[in-house]
Amino acid sequence: MSVEEIKKARSAVEFNREQLESVLRGRFFYAPAFDLYGGVSGLYDYGPPGCAFQANVVDVWRKHFILEEDMLEVDCTMLTPYEVLKTSGHVDKFSDWMCRDLKTGEIFRADHLVEEVLEARLKGDKEARGLSTNNDAEESADKKKRKKKVKQIKVVKLEDDVVKEYETVLAKIDGYSGEELGELMKKYDIGNPATGEPLEPPKAFNLMFETAIGPSGQLKGYLRPETAQGQFLNFNKLLEFNNSKTPFASASIGKSFRNEISPRAGLLRVREFLMAEIEHFVDPLDKSHPKFEDVKHIELSFLPRDVQEAGSTEPIVKTIGDAVASKMVDNETLGYFIARIYQFLVKIGVDASKMRFRQHMSNEMAHYAADCWDAELKTSYGWIECVGCADRSAFDLTVHSNKTKEKLVVRQKLDTPIEVTKFEIDLTKKLFGPKFRKDAPKVESYLLNLSQEELKAKSEELEKNQKIVFKIDAIEGDVELDDKFVKIEERTKVEHVREFVPNVIEPSFGIGRIIYAVFEHSFWNRPEDVARGVLSFPPLVAPSKVLLVPLSNHKDLQPITKEVSKILRKAQIPFKVDDSGVSIGKRYSRNDELGTPFGITIDFESVNDNSVTLRERDSTKQVRGSVEDIINAIREITYNGVSWDEGTKNLEPFVSQ
Amino acid sequence: MSVEEIKKARSAVEFNREQLESVLRGRFFYAPAFDLYGGVSGLYDYGPPGCAFQANVVDVWRKHFILEEDMLEVDCTMLTPYEVLKTSGHVDKFSDWMCRDLKTGEIFRADHLVEEVLEARLKGDKEARGLSTNNDAEESADKKKRKKKVKQIKVVKLEDDVVKEYETVLAKIDGYSGEELGELMKKYDIGNPATGEPLEPPKAFNLMFETAIGPSGQLKGYLRPETAQGQFLNFNKLLEFNNSKTPFASASIGKSFRNEISPRAGLLRVREFLMAEIEHFVDPLDKSHPKFEDVKHIELSFLPRDVQEAGSTEPIVKTIGDAVASKMVDNETLGYFIARIYQFLVKIGVDASKMRFRQHMSNEMAHYAADCWDAELKTSYGWIECVGCADRSAFDLTVHSNKTKEKLVVRQKLDTPIEVTKFEIDLTKKLFGPKFRKDAPKVESYLLNLSQEELKAKSEELEKNQKIVFKIDAIEGDVELDDKFVKIEERTKVEHVREFVPNVIEPSFGIGRIIYAVFEHSFWNRPEDVARGVLSFPPLVAPSKVLLVPLSNHKDLQPITKEVSKILRKAQIPFKVDDSGVSIGKRYSRNDELGTPFGITIDFESVNDNSVTLRERDSTKQVRGSVEDIINAIREITYNGVSWDEGTKNLEPFVSQ
């Protein structure tokens, strides 16, 4: 089979998700965690092939990003104290809205409920108008991810303006506050879809798992919802490690946790998941990237903000170079990472034709973000957000710095000194001790850490009242200081060092979601044997690389089987032996389900001349050669990116008897 | 320098822990987590070199155990529901005893407190008797791990019999219950060591972090205290994956959590840590191991139970073959893993002379365990338990099976059928439906899952009373059944299949502790430059393999530096470039602290003839050759276990100008 023929064969049989899931569970790629105890929704275990696949994806990620770009990898704790996540905004804002049915005890996620009920009504309306509603493929990702709560569509025609209203609401569904969702539920009479009974108004449910650290129970903590905070908190140490040079990036691979309200859809919405995150720290005045040249020719599918606002899902295809040049993508560094994300995803088996980069709408994006693009992968659940790539500006470092009063900045020696005019504060320190005693350092630190805006205000206050009045956490009542204690002036000075808070470009990968997308993109059925599935993983990430099959379990074949095993083990090529009695064909098709790219067949000829047969999974092509040559071909194709044709060009074609 | 000379140099300067810690923190091997927020005790982040070192150790572990032995790796969730850990015994027994000082709010770990106070008194007694107390090196590991709570030793002579009593208590300190510890505190008048005030009696403090899963808050869960449970729960799926063959092993690498009462001692006692665990499932009637032959010559230091009971710490040195033959180590499989643990630890840089295998005393070992040995590594904190290797018998599978009523067994076809006599129960099923309605399946399942002992008892009860009476969780009140419902008989049958619960041999690695021990074992000072430390990691696990240093930052050297970088990157050999202006010597000694084994110097000669200098960290020996030959030597020495002498034999010795 040629590459074209394989391509054709792969799309001949329609994709069947149930069959894929039955393969994935049957071959223990993954399984519901605590199955024996009835399972816990949103928690999954990876079995041997899933675990090996995941480890390989992580390994490729590490080489593609960390090694290639000299990133600084860190491994930070998952347990995180309250204070940190309060400062980052997660305690206040990392929540979904939930509604409880007081009668049944059921809990619904408010935005999903409103979305689903209105969509069901629109569908009923379409049917009533005699229009086709067979547009499942176009449904939004989130909607298809859930088990439907609305079990039956009622065929009821709606007023034309109600249809318009519903459509407007649905277009903005990700941006509503809890109160607004509550109002929508009242206005459109949305209750429990099964019973019609009203629900409690939406309450914020924080998605972080809470726990207590230490024996006193008084130090409240959470399981981290992302790996990013650990990287921000270590910024000063990382900068020092990097000899104070910017730009540089840190990276982290580890588990994060989200207490989803009602997780469904298998590996796509889970409560514990592997993330890989990069924080690239860059000068806000210079977001160019030295290696942008290398990627700017890469063509991608973009779904920018304005296209979405015009109600279209038709992507714009252009090079990342053009996208940055036209300012559609904010800057080179962001563009560079978008292209590198694309390269990574293709390398591990994502179908490039099922990938798009969607820009966040203004109401989705945090106020501080300069730009944000999601790599979305198309699956049978719709388009799924798998990688986020955001320019988070200086937000994270600034909030932690403000909270802890520690500077998180880069100092850059200036080639030509510059004149800077700014407010400065002088303290008459000898007066602070007698007045504030042990609190004196706190008062001084408060004053020395005032921002330029605050200093300006205080300087005006001081001029007007000959004193300033303020409050400090640690001290009861007002603190009052007259102009004997403090002097605030605007001064112009020549500076030799520029100090700045770097901006952060953050590519953030949900490894589990990516893996699931690769499963779907890799799965197909041979037209001649539709009952069996094939997982066409790239050899680089396949859980096992080789299936070693002695033709029969005749004792004469055992020594050479052992010998080949030894050579493969020494070459550190993961392999399995299948010396069960069943037919070669059956053994191979069992392994197609595991995505093993190569098969080595040992026959009686092998005993005589040390030659073996190599089979390729997708084409089922076979070649013959010495054990050494065959293993060498496997190594080249698997780890060095050599094609099958190139890697086997010196081996004999082989036609099985 | 020859190997002997290096060895001599490495022990010339006395080990200084403070200096090591200052290197580890200064070069960001690790740092207290949330430092910016004041830190949280027992939580640490790994910076770039620590993280790379950890990743390399894990990689070696995976190859040494999982790949070599064809183990089935799984990745299970950390979030674990209450039920599972209730069954495993962790909810009831995974705790330490804590005492609170009601006045100050301080919390003490009871066993540590008793131990420390009695030891302080014994020390005071020795001083009063005029005996030397300078035996710090011999102190127990746990004692030295903590910051001392007893700040001052009072010089008071004790009665001779009191000294004896104290010594007896200390020898058994790990085995006391909370009540017993409370009695000891009363008897010996042990209170807050700082104030002398009495403490609350010891209370059990469970060491698991608790959380709630899902929005209702009703599903109680914990963060796993070990990775083992996930492996046990997936036993049936793993067995099926392994084509129902035993023995086989599963393995898992991941974070676990223990809410230590007052963690101290850096990386040795932490609240979140990386574990690597193996569960080897084996026939209880046959614990031989096919590869035991390969390791039986390995000589190890053993501290068996009887030596400890005799009050000695003098190890017995013998081969693992002799240890198993003499039954000191219970069986071949356990012995095989002990030897493989030894090989692994030596491979990653543990000093074999600072390793011993200590057998658990009877009061340390769980009642079900057949045998248990800890690999202990000697550090400046004393002997530290770093790897446990236990034969846990059939305990874990049995308790989960009993709880869930799912069989967790191996079925083995017998070559010759055997006669088996056992109790069997027959149910008259048609009577169950009318009597129990929807509960009928529960009653049937309860009866069909009775053990042989229970069946025997029930058969006697039935014979005596013509009925049996029992309780079932799901049903209120007693369940009564007469002999029309059930028949219980002892029958002799011929069986063709043997069914057994496999035993579990569990090697369990605390990666963080091992890493810290390797840090200590690798650290030394050059006698000629004691201010600077060297970390002599084996190249295989060193964070970075090569430091690339252009002689100066002259522009002529830049192209070849770039060229060599490119070759190293392509060869996937981790390296760093140091083109700072400081002297070569300084750049090398800075990198000795990071444990980088090789340096490549690029000079003006290199530009002409493509030759570079290779420097070895420990001996500071240098050789010269072409870029290709030098990189080839690095690859062979780092990844293929070739010695320096062998790897560089074709290169020219080089003496720096």
| Sole residue written with tokens 């990342």 | A320
As a whole number, mean pLDDT of residues B205-223 equals 92
Inspect the interface and report whether the beta carbons of A67 and B261 lie closer than 8 Å: no
* H or E element at residue B490: strand B486-500
Give the mutation candidate from B30, B59, B72, B73 for the A interface (greatest A CB count, under 10 A): B73
pLDDT for the residue numbered A149:
65
More confident: A73 or B478: A73
Residue B53 φ/ψ, nearest 5 degrees: -60, -45
How far is CA A577 from each of CA A545, A561, A594, B35, B53, rounded to the nearest angstrom?
Answer: 11, 8, 14, 50, 33
Whether B255 contacts A78, CB under 8 Å: yes
pLDDT for the residue numbered A139:
47
pLDDT for the residue numbered A140:
45
Kindly indicate the confidence band of residue A40, based on its pLDDT and cuts at 50, 70 and 90: very high
Nearest chain A alpha carbon to B70: A576
Give the contacts of B150 (CB within 8 A, at least 6 positions apart): B116, B117, B120, B193
pLDDT digits (tens, 9 = 90+) for B88-112: 999 998 999 999 998 888 899 999 8
Where does residue A648 rank: exposed (0-12), middle (13-18), buried (19+ CB within 10 A)?
A: buried
- Round to whole Å and give the CA distance between A45 and B34: 30
Inspect the interface and report whether the beta carbons of A230 and B45 lie closer than 8 Å: yes
Lowest-confidence pick of A421-435, A531-545, B316-330, B440-454: B440-454
Residue A266 has pLDDT above 90, yes or no: no
| Sole residue written with tokens 């804002």 | A93
Give the mutation candidate from B57, B62, B203, B211 for the A interface (greatest A CB count, under 10 A): B211
As a whole number, mean pLDDT of residues B4-23 equals 90
CATH 3.40.50.800 corresponds to the domain B544-653: yes
| Sole residue written with tokens 């067979």 | A134
Residue B34 has pLDDT above 60, yes or no: yes
* Token pair recorded at residue B393: 């018998």
With a pLDDT cut of 90, the percent of chain B lying above it is 69
Inspect the interface and report whether the beta carbons of A211 and B209 lie closer than 8 Å: yes
Cis peptide before B247 (omega within 30 of 0): yes
User: Chain B closest CA to A309's CA: distance in Å?
Assistant: 34
Read off the amino acid at residue B490. E
* H or E element at residue B486: strand B486-500
Q: Terminus-to-terminus CA distance in chain A, angstroms?
A: 18
With CA atoms as reference, report the closest residue to A601 among A582, A569, A578.
A578
Q: Which residues pair with A303 in a beta bridge?
A: A358
Lowest-confidence pick of A180-194, B168-182, B196-210, B321-335: B168-182
Fold classification of A95-206 is: Herpes Virus-1 (3.30.40)
User: Chain A closest CA to B64's CA: distance in Å?
Assistant: 11
The answer to whether domain B3-76+224-394 and domain B544-653 are alike in fold is no
Residue B311 has pLDDT above 80, yes or no: no
Q: How high is the mean pLDDT of chain A?
A: 91
Domain spans, chain A? 59-77+225-391, 95-206, 413-497, 544-653
Kindly indicate the confidence band of residue A344, based on its pLDDT and cuts at 50, 70 and 90: very high
Inspect the interface and report whether the beta carbons of A28 and B241 lie closer than 8 Å: yes
Handedness of CA B544, B545, B546, B547 (dihedral sign): positive
Kindly indicate the confidence band of residue A133, based on its pLDDT and cuts at 50, 70 and 90: low
- The 3-state DSSP class for residue A211 equals strand
Kindly indicate the confidence band of residue A439, based on its pLDDT and cuts at 50, 70 and 90: confident
- DSSP assignment, residue B254? E
CATH 3.30.930.10 corresponds to the domain B3-76+224-394: yes
Q: Say how many CB pairs under 8 Å bridge A and B.
A: 200
pLDDT for the residue numbered A312:
82
Nearest chain A alpha carbon to B34: A233
Inspect the interface and report whether the beta carbons of B241 and A404 lie closer than 8 Å: no
pLDDT digits (tens, 9 = 90+) for B287-307: 999 999 999 999 999 999 998
pLDDT digits (tens, 9 = 90+) for B182-206: 999 999 999 998 888 899 999 999 9
The dihedral region occupied by A77, where left means phi > 0, alpha psi between -120 and 50, and beta the remainder, is beta
- DSSP assignment, residue B75? B
Inspect the interface and report whether the beta carbons of B205 and A215 lie closer than 8 Å: yes
As a whole number, mean pLDDT of residues B407-418 equals 92
DSSP string, A367-393: TT-SEEEEEEEEETTEEEEEEEEEE-T
Inspect the interface and report whether the beta carbons of A74 and B48 lie closer than 8 Å: yes
- Round to whole Å and give the CA distance between B84 and B213: 14
User: Chain B closest CA to A312's CA: distance in Å?
Assistant: 35
CATH 3.30.930.10 corresponds to the domain A59-77+225-391: yes
Nearest chain A alpha carbon to B108: A215
Inspect the interface and report whether the beta carbons of A237 and B47 lie closer than 8 Å: yes
Among B37, B55, B241, whose Cβ lies nearest the Cβ of A47?
A: B241
- Round to whole Å and give the CA distance between A257 and A222: 9
Inspect the interface and report whether the beta carbons of A261 and B107 lie closer than 8 Å: no
Whether B423 contacts B454, CB under 8 Å: no
pLDDT digits (tens, 9 = 90+) for A183-201: 999 999 999 988 888 999 9
- Round to whole Å and give the CA distance between A357 and A372: 10
Among B62, B73, B213, whose Cβ lies nearest the Cβ of A40?
A: B213
pLDDT for the residue numbered A373:
96
User: Chain B closest CA to A151's CA: distance in Å?
Assistant: 23
CATH 3.60.21.10 corresponds to the domain A413-497: no
DSSP string, A476-504: SS-EEEETTTEEEEEEEEEEEEEEEPPEE
Whether A67 contacts A53, CB under 8 Å: no
Instruction: Tally Cβ neighbours within 10 Å of residue B5.
Output: 11
With CA atoms as reference, report the closest residue to A538 among A266, A339, A345.
A345
Contacts B214 to A, Cβ<8 Å:
41, 259, 261
Sheet architecture: strand order including B107-109: B107-109, B95-100, B203-206
| Sole residue written with tokens 């889970």 | A270
* Token pair recorded at residue A353: 């034709």
User: Chain B closest CA to A212's CA: distance in Å?
Assistant: 7
Whether A362 contacts A352, CB under 8 Å: no
More confident: A601 or B152: A601
DSSP string, A508-554: EEEHHHHHHHHHHHHEEEETTEEEEEEE---TTT-S-SEEEEESS--
pLDDT for the residue numbered B148:
59
Nearest chain A alpha carbon to B569: A68
With CA atoms as reference, report the closest residue to A315 among A328, A302, A326.
A302
Among A75, A205, A211, whose Cβ lies nearest the Cβ of B215?
A: A205
Inspect the interface and report whether the beta carbons of A234 and B47 lie closer than 8 Å: yes
As a whole number, mean pLDDT of residues B548-560 equals 92
Inspect the interface and report whether the beta carbons of A46 and B209 lie closer than 8 Å: no
- Round to whole Å and give the CA distance between A202 and A178: 6
Kindly report the CATH class assigned to B414-498. Answer: alpha beta
Kindly indicate the confidence band of residue A656, based on its pLDDT and cuts at 50, 70 and 90: low
pLDDT digits (tens, 9 = 90+) for A363-400: 777 777 889 999 999 999 999 999 999 999 999 999 99
Inspect the interface and report whether the beta carbons of A51 and B68 lie closer than 8 Å: no
Nearest chain A alpha carbon to B209: A211
Count the residues in chain B. Answer: 657
- DSSP assignment, residue B217? S
Q: How high is the mean pLDDT of chain B?
A: 91
User: Chain B closest CA to A651's CA: distance in Å?
Assistant: 26
As a whole number, mean pLDDT of residues B345-367 equals 91
- Round to whole Å and give the CA distance between A443 and A20: 64
